[in-house]
Amino acid sequence: MAVALLFLCFLVLATTTSDAVIAHSDPQIIQLLRPRAGVAGHPDSEINCLSWRLAVETNNIRNWDLVPETCEDYVGNYMLGKQYRLDCEAVADIAIEYAENLTIPDDGKSIWVFDIDETAFSNLPYYARPSVGFGAKKYNSTAFGEYIQEADVPALPASLRLYRNLVKLGIKSVFLTGSSERYREAREENLKKVGYYTWEKLILKPISEKGTSSVYFKSKERTKLVNEGYRIVGNIGDQWSDIIGTNVGNRTFKLPDPMYYVG
């Protein structure tokens, strides 16, 4: 009787262990633990594209021209998916916490510098067009200019939330963009339309400075602000060129953007 009982226990244990092994080897379960990149359905491509994006965001890969063709779907899935939104919200959370702990003098000279494209605004409706795509095709300045002129670009929600908190704290906003001065009217209309109702300055690149680097142009404009007596308490952008150079501010914040590189 004891031998039979022992044998029965062994069968139960063996069956349970076998079921557990099968459950943990179920590809459906394993897939839930892996990032879904959607790059030609190939795991190796997913890993390479994840590593490529990490290198881009950490500024280890510089002066790149186009998104690798095999990573375009991955970039598109990231930008249109939940993770991009969560990443932007995380940046905004940190920036708001920082701003709330500042002591702001009551002289109206404390400012926060915002980039515009992929910072104040999100151009995802443009990049989601089949004719454009997510960074693997050459940039079409004419088509993008026409898109800007429509003045219907949505706000990046995380940045708009940061902006609204800064207004409450008495920190003025300066929009500094490498976008051409020819788009000033459209930019002003668009900013107000999506909720950026007031700002201290809107600085666009003069047509005469076309071709100058973003680092040079934005450093020069920030220096002008400092020379006018402003304190740059914060600076946010999606490109490293938005937050490096001279007079970058007391604290900088980088939003994700693996779609393009601006030097």
> What residue spans define the domains of the chain?
36-254
What dotted CATH number matches 36-254? 3.40.50.1000
What's the N-to-C CA distance of the chain in angstroms? 81
Q: How far is CA 30 from CA 36, 43, 211, in A?
A: 11, 12, 49
Residue with tokens 């940190």: 94
Between β-strands 252-254 and 172-180, what pairing exists: parallel, antiparallel or unpaired? unpaired
CB 116 within 8 A of CB 175: yes
Residues 6+ apart with CB under 8 A from 160: 120, 194, 195, 196
SS3 of residue 114 by DSSP: strand
Q: How far is CA 172 from CA 109, 182, 195, 207, in A?
A: 8, 24, 15, 26
Between β-strands 172-180 and 110-114, what pairing exists: parallel, antiparallel or unpaired? parallel
SS3 of residue 7 by DSSP: helix
Question: What is the pLDDT, as a whole number, of residue 47?
Answer: 56
DSSP labels for 188-234?
A: HHHHHHHT----SEEEEE-GGGTTS-HHHHHHHHHHHHHHTT-EEEE
Block mean pLDDT (10 aa), the chain, length 263: 42 40 33 38 62 97 96 97 98 98 97 98 97 96 98 98 98 98 98 98 96 97 98 98 98 98 97
Longest CA–CA separation in the chain, Å = 97
Question: What is the pLDDT, as a whole number, of residue 58?
Answer: 97
Task: Return d(Cα 28, Cα 32) in angstroms, integer.
Answer: 7
